[in-house]
Amino acid sequence: MGSVELLQGNEACARGALAAGCTFYAGYPITPSSEIAEFMARRLPERQGVFVQMEDEIASLAAVIGASLAGRKAMTATSGPGFSLMQEHIGYAAMAEVPCVVVNVMRGGPSTGLPTSPSQGDVMQARWGSHGDRPAIVLAPASVDEVFAQTVRAFNLAERFRTPVILLYDEIVGHTREGVELPGTVDTVDRKRPEVPPAEFWPKEAGPDGVPPLPRFGDGYRFHVTGLSHDTRGFPTGDPELVGALMDRMHRKVDDHVDEIEQVERFMLEDADVAIFAYGIVGRSAREAVARARDEGLRVGLIRPVTLWPFPDTAVAAVAGRVETVLVAEMNRGQMIREVERAAAGACRVVGHFRDDGEPITPTEILAALDGLMTSRKG
């Protein structure tokens, strides 16, 4: 049996990490994510885990990658400026196929911006911040309860697909306190280990799911870790055929399993004329706005992606094919609206409601935007 506890979002993240089996944390304090590090600093040593405060965010993720290669489930947490510094190592972890979890509690930017205010300005950076094409898995919880659950899921996906997974939420979610029903146990996933003796092991030879097994340093298996393009032995290569095969496999291991990765909340969409597309804390405001709009007789629904990347193309296209308008509400200047437009492919009108001044988008604001849409439709 579980228990119900009053938790802050950042504490729920740390508790979820421990439940998922995390035994290594390296990080650098930064508002508004610092509570995650503080909690892990207290609790990890009690579980024979390791907490290290590094000199900066670049070193933090480097340490996490090293710990993961040694067999640990490892994570770090940061916010905007620190997330920018981590991009090179996120790309390295993707190319070297090292499972790890990176938490970004978003705050206002650019630069140091608004350290104690919420934002959703890192959505595209989470997908494209590291140079080159790479697979990306990005999760966006909207409540303290979801922070716990999605942190566990982030570790499971990282282990399942041998890739960095980014947990992306904002200052409001991170600092909100809510009652959370904590399960007694959670389902966890561990990375695949080699099933052949060391002499027969090829480090980057994958099975049908596209995910190669990963031994721990010290297990007796010889393997080379590199951010360079490499062959199935793990050694660098510039051969176009081998490089193309590597890139195809790294993307297929995610793309071919979107049904396993994608999570989307749908609310009152069956007869909706207008759908709100919102994620994270704005998704919660949008859900309340939908409930109020329904009380006023307006046919409005909500589509809220919990998985931001891979982007839920099929789900958005299905909604766009049934409604007249999709209203995209974001706490930025319009980052995901272009993805919605792409997925909608002209099937309906797509309009945006944005805010980037450090204040949240409220249900009242969304209702006002809906009223404007309804008025223009009648006109």
Q: Please state, as a whole number, how many other Cβ atoms lie within 10 Å of the Cβ of residue 363.
A: 17
Locate 279 and state its tokens. 């994620």
Give me the percent of the chain exceeding a pLDDT of 90.
96
DSSP string covering 293-312: HHHTT--EEEEEESEEES--
Note the pTM of the prediction, 2 decimals. 0.96
Locate 287 and state its tokens. 């859900």
d(CA 68, CA 76): 12
- pLDDT (tens digit per residue) in 44-97: 999 999 999 999 999 999 999 999 999 999 999 999 999 999 999 999 999 999
- pLDDT (tens digit per residue) in 283-301: 999 999 999 999 999 999 9
Q: How far is CA 261 from the centre of its chain?
A: 11
Residue with tokens 């205010």: 117
d(CA 38, CA 44): 10
- Alpha-carbon torsion, ordered 27, 32, 35, 40, to 10 deg: -30
Q: Name the nearest CA neighbour of 123 among 281, 347, 12.
A: 281
Q: What's the pLDDT score for residue 112?
A: 95
Sheet holding 264-267, edge to edge: 264-267, 300-305, 274-277, 325-330, 349-354
Domains of the chain plus CATH, in order, are 3-182 (3.40.50.970), 265-378 (3.40.50.920)
- pLDDT (tens digit per residue) in 12-36: 999 999 999 999 999 999 999 999 9
- pLDDT (tens digit per residue) in 153-198: 999 999 999 999 999 999 999 999 999 999 989 999 999 999 999 9
